[in-house]
Structure 1
Amino acid sequence: MKWISCCTRYAASALLACSSAAFALPVVDVYVAEAPPLTMVSQGDHHGIAGDITLQAMAMTFEEARKAFKMIAVGSGSAQETRLREEGFSAAQIYPLKIGENPALMLLKGRVDAWFNGVPETLYIWKQISDRPLMMSRALMTADLYLACSKDCDPQMVEKLKTAIETLRSNGSIKRVQHDYLKGLPVQ
């Protein structure tokens, strides 16, 4: 198998997501004034220097999640399932999902306490089923994604694809496509 190019790192970031209704830890409202660059209220993922530091300080760790959640939905056989086991979660705390099960719906109905999954997929699925804010931890793991083809793949095509991916990355097209798919998602 020939590796063509690493597409993006953060697309496969994994997080613990939980419905505001199912969230096991107390919700803390943070009130800040609009005082850029220290605090910013309406700048998407950026909350200013003090705002971002405050949110990072409040971010959940694996240890806190292990104590807070009785059941975490995760793809069966996924890197996230392996990571939870490595972090000491008990078998009773891990709910391995089979294809066709809807973790977002399970979360919304309170059948699981949290969902450990990739960020873009989680946001996209959540938008399909709920208008409620989705409470998310910071990304707890990342993985590179690659395009690949068989050993018999034409080497010239591989080089064309490498060049095309690098062009799309350098001219900002990859970020624009990601933004178009993820804009307007209900995240808190």
Structure 2
Amino acid sequence: MPLRQFCCCALLCLAFASQAEDVIELYMPNAPPLTFASLKGGHGMVGDVTLAALARAGLLSELRYEPWARAQRKVANGRDQLIIPLSRTPEREPLYTWIAPIMPLERAFFSLDEPVQSFAEARQRYRRIGVGLGTAQVEILRSQGFSEQQIITHTLGENPAHLLERGRIDAWFTGVPEALYIWPQHSTRRLQMSPVLASTHLYLACSKECDAQLVQKLRAAVQSVHDEGISKRLIELYLPQPLDAAP
């Protein structure tokens, strides 16, 4: 058994406090390394922590993989459905029941030329900025005054690294772990990173119509997984190599 698979299995087993009896739908995108649609041994930083909390709460999950924007609409309009990893933004605030934060996510601009130092500089320099469709990055750029023509959306699962390398976008605005994880798999060119310019917590959220006992149970389970250090160890298994460590 690979080391990561063994560690994930061992840590998830630590999370069980009772045998899982109930089954609940959990929507998540393929957004490595935060969540993986299919990975032998784990489902990513947020995925594994969430599954550990579900196990602690005595719940089984039925994993659902749909386009991210569609998944958000389904959960928002459904009942007792879970979704990860969801940033708690002003636009989304009234649409969901916010159960608990799983981890913070820092965001930055990534490019192949001299990195920008601010949103203002990025607005002036970049004509085309790649962002994931339906992600908080879109909301962040709009709130910072970027035009719709500057925001080039791609669906989660598509490869923005190729778009950047081929010059189809000038920069990529995304979570730092995602860029550091994806880029080395597709290019040997030097990736440049701006300072961190935005940060939000990634939440486990539920439908707006969500059973109060379910929310309470999961909120307590997430907190216990954090308090016991299980979430920290699961997240660290997926941490990508920083840019300064690249050869």
Bin of the TM-score, shorter chain as denominator length: 0.5 to 0.7
Q: Residue 195 of structure 2: which of 126, 135, 138 is its match? A: 138
Is 1:187 matched with 2:243? Answer: yes
Match of 2:107 in 1: 14
Please give the residue correspondences for 1:104-183 in structure 2 after superposition, counting only pairs within 5 Å.
104-150=161-207, 151=209, 153=211, 155=213, 157-183=214-240
Q: Matched residues in 1 for 2:181 and 2:224: separation?
A: 26
Task: Say how many residue pairs are matched.
Answer: 148
Q: In percent, how many aligned pairs have the same letter?
A: 43
- Report if aligned partners of 2:97, 2:210 keep a CA contact under 8 Å in 1: no
Match of 1:3 in 2: 98
Q: Matched residues in 2 for 1:144 and 1:176: separation?
A: 18
What SS is found at the alignment partner of 2:205?
A: strand
Instruction: Look up the equivalent residue of 2:150 and give its one-letter code.
Output: Q
Q: CA deviation at 1:100?
A: 5.1
Q: 1:56-108 CA distances to partner (integer Å, 9 max, x unpaired)? A: xxx71001112222321112343322332332323332212245532111112
Instruction: Look up the equivalent residue of 1:109 and give its one-letter code.
Output: R
Instruction: Look up the equivalent residue of 1:4 and give its one-letter code.
Output: I
Q: CA distance change for structure 1 residues 166 and 77 in 2, over 3 Å: closer, same or farther? A: closer
- Report if aligned partners of 1:17, 1:115 keep a CA contact under 8 Å in 2: yes
Q: 1:35-73 CA distances to partner (integer Å, 9 max, x unpaired)? A: xxxxxxxxxxxxxxxxxxxxxxxx710011122223211
Q: CA deviation at 1:159?
A: 3.6
What SS is found at the alignment partner of 1:142?
A: strand
- Report if aligned partners of 2:99, 2:219 keep a CA contact under 8 Å in 1: yes
Q: CA distance change for structure 1 residues 149 and 16 in 2, over 3 Å: closer, same or farther? A: same
Instruction: Look up the equivalent residue of 1:85 and give its one-letter code.
Output: R
RMSD of equivalent CA atoms: 2.7
- Report if aligned partners of 2:107, 2:175 keep a CA contact under 8 Å in 1: yes
Asked which structure has the greater RCO (Cα within 8 Å, sep 6+), the reply is 1
Is 1:63 matched with 2:120? Answer: yes
- Report if aligned partners of 2:131, 2:154 keep a CA contact under 8 Å in 1: yes
What SS is found at the alignment partner of 2:199?
A: coil
- Report if aligned partners of 1:127, 1:186 keep a CA contact under 8 Å in 2: no
- Greater strand share, 1 or 2? 2
Q: CA deviation at 1:2?
A: 4.3
Give unpaired runs (5+ residues) of structure 1: 27-58
Please give the residue correspondences for 1:3-82 in structure 2 after superposition, counting only pairs within 5 Å.
3-8=98-103, 10-11=104-105, 13-18=106-111, 22-23=112-113, 25=114, 60-82=117-139
Instruction: Look up the equivalent residue of 1:187 and give its one-letter code.
Output: L
Q: CA distance change for structure 1 residues 99 and 180 in 2, over 3 Å: closer, same or farther? A: closer
